[in-house]
Amino acid sequence: MKRAVFLFFAILPFFAHAARPKLVVNVIVSGVGSDFLDRYSHNFSESGFRRFAANGTDCVSARYGYMQTLSPTGIATFATGADPSLHGVVSEAWIEPISGARVTLTGDASVRGLGSDPGRGLHSPTELLMPVLGDGLIAQSPDSKVISVAASAVSAVVAGGQKGRAFWLDEQRATWVSSTAYMEKLPDWVTAYNVARPANSYLDGGWSLARPKRQYVSGDSWRNKHFDRRGENDYNALIHSPLGNSLVAEFAVKTVAEEGLGKDDTADILTVVFDSARWVGERYGTRAIETEDMIYRLDMDLAGMVDGIVAQVGQIADILFVITADGGLGDGSERFNAAQFKTILNSFLNSQFGVGDWVADYIDRQVFLNRNLVYKSTLSLAEVQNRAATFVLQFRGVTHVLTGTALAGGYFSEGYGAKMQRGFYPRRGGDLVLNFAPGWIEERADSEALGGSMYDYDRHVPLVFYGWQIPPRELPSEVDMTQVAPTVARILGIERPTGSEAGLIEVLNF
């Protein structure tokens, strides 16, 4: 389908004469695909999700173009304007091929956590390979502020990029923290905010249905509990409930106020990631009453956050809101037991190539082989991968398997191979990449749904541009999520992110 884009030369006249927004607010609702919003939209308020769609440009056919539609990959794609095959964020962890060590995306022992207990909060953007939109803004306008706020450290770090500042929630206390990768100490206003312990008011109120049960379309099984004590477990549970979204929304408004975002003619960027939405959906499933309640509460949180930000900046005409998701979730009617799979696969490789620990790890649909053992045994890596791939196809639930060699050296122009290749980064990708049948997810404790697949319930996401000079309309044309960053860059009048090659979205009446 033809994409909604404008050629570069066609938009230059507009941006030569138009003021840019003073503040761009990126809102990433984690794990909430378009099907979520469609299912529950009849119960939304007029000032939340419905306000964006009614008064902004609603890109109703926005999709990620790859498999591995995981939260960090989606955030990185949104922020860089590139697929994982270029930006390199394919998962929260991978196996380093030479040393065999497990590497985490944001973990960094060389930094110190700020606001956390010793040994906690050790996160940095060191492993981020590709500059994000905010990095480009700072490079071109050093006085601009780029800040990311998220419940998850990984989300905050990926969204913040290499030059921005990132804040996330400490799961032990539900307070806001960062690391020395971004600053020497927490800003005084953050410290004072933490001392006030705003999370305690949410603990006292607990989590109960936000509206009468008769208004819900999901089942009536209600499995949550009230938070009845001030301890680490309760704060952790709070963050992994809809109330975690409320904490993030409240802190986002506070950040705009205290940092003076959007207060001068120097453009700023704030990215807000609602990770608790994903955590609730994963735990309870996409059609559970708890997840439905989370959506309604989030609808109210968004309304309050937008109103609060507009009140701080002064007028909506100075703010561009971009509302989207990092991917969706699919319920798991069938489960893939990764631990059992690793054992069986290793036994098969023992029978083929001799006794040894051939399978180094399994992470997010990817098998990592023990490369050192393969080379020590003077075996062809491609041969080991191919034999393993043929064997893996016999497992129930596995529909496709491609080897790392094929993905790194071949070219897939369409179909499942193209989606898998766009989500593969050779240095960090597995030796085997698996695709499951619809309805299959990895077996994990307390998980009824997961993201990551190549199916539409994971790839199709909401995308709305709202505020500033954005006209109210529905845009039916196909939009790839790699188009968002270059579009916002053009609106800001800065260079597109380094790895971005996508066209622009038609969000304005040129």
Identify any residues that bridge with 331 across adjacent strands, giving them in sequence order.
449
Can you read off the two tokens belonging to residue 148? 């990311």
Can you read off the two tokens belonging to residue 141? 């306008």
Mean pLDDT by 10 residues, the chain (510 residues): 34 48 98 93 93 96 98 98 98 93 97 96 97 97 97 98 97 96 98 96 88 86 61 83 97 98 96 98 93 96 98 96 98 95 98 98 97 96 98 97 97 96 97 97 94 97 97 96 97 96 84
Length of the chain: 510
- The letter for the amino acid at 11 is I
* pLDDT value of residue 227: 59
* pLDDT value of residue 111: 98
Domains and their CATH numbers in the chain: 8-331+454-492 (3.40.720.10), 334-447 (3.30.1360.150)
Q: How many CB atoms lie within 10 A of CB 338?
A: 18
Q: Is the dihedral of CA 313, 314, 315, 317 positive or negative?
A: negative
* pLDDT value of residue 454: 97
Q: In 94-126, which positions are buried (b, 16+ CB within 10 angstroms) versus exposed (e)?
A: bbebeebeeeebbbbeebbbbbbeeebbbbbbe
Distance CA 417, CA 96 (A): 24
